[in-house]
């Protein structure tokens, strides 16, 4: 009978479910605490997403530069005669 002193709203009694036995102060504190954690997580997510975007941009630039450098080196090797032109190698097959 330790629960008999608790108040039950009529809807909970009618539906046969337990009432929320928490004070408004406790509920408000919990909501504020959870909202603060959500806000902090959203800030961290924004920071991580910004870093990810920067790193992806840097990676794309590096890949583009590597492609350009490869083409330049291939042209230099072809011009020096060390490497035959790619077109003639594929045509011989």
The kind and range of the H/E element at 78 are helix 24-80
pLDDT tens for the chain, residues 1 to 93: 344 445 567 777 788 877 776 788 888 999 999 999 999 999 999 999 999 999 999 999 999 999 999 999 988 988 888 877 666 656 555
Dist CA 13 CA 81 (whole Å):
93
């Amino acid at each position: 009978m330790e629960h008999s002193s608790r108040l039950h709203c009529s809807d909970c009694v009618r539906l046969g479910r337990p009432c929320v036995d928490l004070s408004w102060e406790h509920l408000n504190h919990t909501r504020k605490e959870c909202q603060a954690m959500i806000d902090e997580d959203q800030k961290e997510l924004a920071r991580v997403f910004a870093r990810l975007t920067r790193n992806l941009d840097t990676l794309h630039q590096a890949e583009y530069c590597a492609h350009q450098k490869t083409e330049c080196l291939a042209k230099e090797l072809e011009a020096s005669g060390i490497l035959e032109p790619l077109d003639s190698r594929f045509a011989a097959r």
